[in-house]
Structures are given as structure tokens and as C-alpha cells.
Structure 1
Amino acid sequence: MSAFLKSVGERIRSIRKAQDLTQEALAEKAGLHYSYIGGVERGDRNISLETLEKIIDALGVLPVEIFLFDYADTEQEQIDKKQVLEALNSLLIGRNLQEVKLVHRLTKDILATIDEQKNL
């Protein structure tokens, strides 16, 4: 198996888990067999672009998100943080631009307050 296919599969697994989807649920949404999803996530399958598109659509993410690999250490804290960030992204993906900008502005204000508290 190639490192690239393994990275794509790991990324799909990570996004799926962040959305609390089972392999079976993702397979059903994508119109694929659940064992096929397992093979994709392990990097055992050299999938077509058409199949990748089905998986991306079923996950409801932008295509670029599948290729945002994290080559850093895979400590549990980093995995947990990544899953939370993906969950936040999933919450925002269906929102309009104004709503996303509002959440961004609020997040910046909250982080500024946290940073101020740290400096006291």
C-alpha cells in the first residue's frame, strides 16, 4: 500500500469518526459496501476519483479536506484536537458566509480574552 493511499484513508476515517459515523453509515450514504470503506480507510484500495467524490459528498466536506494530512506526532491529544476541529468545521460547512464570519469574530474575541487572562 502506498503512503499516499494510507494518508487519504486515515483522513477519511478521522473525518468519519469526528462526525460519529460508522463505516456502515458512511457506506450507505455513499452508495458503497461497508467493507469497501474499511479497505479505503486502511489504504488497501486504490479508489477512483468517482468513488472518492461519493465519499466526500457523503461526508459533506470540501474535497480539499481529504488532503489536509497531519504528519505530526500522533499523540492522543493531537488526535483529539483534530477531531474537535473537524467537528467544528462540520458545524460551519453548511452555514452562510455571514454566519461563518460571525463565528470567526466571536472566536477571535474569546481567544483574545483567554490570552489576556493568561498574561495576568
Structure 2
Amino acid sequence: MNLPERVGNRIRELRKAKGWTQEQLAEAAGLHYSYIGGVERGDRNISLETLEKIVTGLNVPAAEIFKFEEDTEYRRAMDEHMTLMNTLEAKDLRALTRANQDIIEHFIIAKAGDT
């Protein structure tokens, strides 16, 4: 799979994690929905300006577009989590991070007790 196809697949994954259609992403990015379809299929060799519009429309860090993971179930769960986190203000994100740390510690301790 070439880079445009991998980027297109990643854009599709991020869009679906938001529960959006191609039309909704196109509107958020200021592009035509058929163009988004071409990007997702890897048919379009997009410019950095267009990539910036898509990243802005998705409200994700640009680096997320280039995170190619093989474990799609894991990636889908992370994408959904990141989508939710991107809606928070910094103070709320810090509070959520502290809560997540406590929860993860609990899972680690519980898992260690199972062995």
C-alpha cells in the first residue's frame, strides 16, 4: 500500500471514529465530499494545504494522520478516545489524565494480583 492510500485509510479511520460521513468531514474541512472520497481511496495526491484543512476539520493533531497501526481494534479505540479528549479544555484534560492514571494503576495492581 502506498503513502496516499495509507493516509487516506487513516483519514477514513479518524472520520469514522467521530461517527461522521464523508459529507460531514467535507463540510468541516471546507472541501467537496467527492474530494474526500478520493482522498480516502488514495486516488488524490493532496497538498499540505488540503491536508491541513482535513486535520483542522477532524480536530486532530497533524501527527495523527501518519499513525499507521496494524491493530485496528486498538487504533479505533484510541481514535475514539482522542476524539473525546480533543473536545476538552486544558484544565479538564489534566483532571481526566489524573483520573485515568488512577484507573490504570488499579488495573495494573489487579492484574498483578491475578498472577
Same fold (TM over 0.5): yes
The corresponding residue for 2:85 is 92
Structure 2, unmatched stretches of 5+, are: none
1:1-120 aligned within 5 A: 3-70=2-69, 72=70, 78-120=71-113
Amino acid at match of 1:110: I
Cα distance in 2 for residues equivalent to 1:27 and 1:97: 27
CA distance in 2, matches of 1:119, 1:52: 44
| Cα-Cα RMSD | 1.6
Unpaired segments of 5 or more residues in structure 1?
A: 73-77
CA distance in 1, matches of 2:27, 2:88: 25
> Which deviations, in whole Å up to 9, do the C-alpha atoms of 1:89-116 show, x marking residues without a partner?
1222243333222222211211111122
Give the C-alpha shift of residue 50 in structure 1.
Answer: 1.3
Output the amino acid matched with 2:26.
A
TM-score using structure 1 length: 0.84
TM-score normalised by the chain length of structure 2:
0.87
Q: CA deviation at 1:81?
A: 2.3
Matched pairs, number = 113
Q: Counterparts of 2:38 and 2:72 in 1: how far apart (Å)?
A: 21
Distance 2:38 2:24 in 1: 15
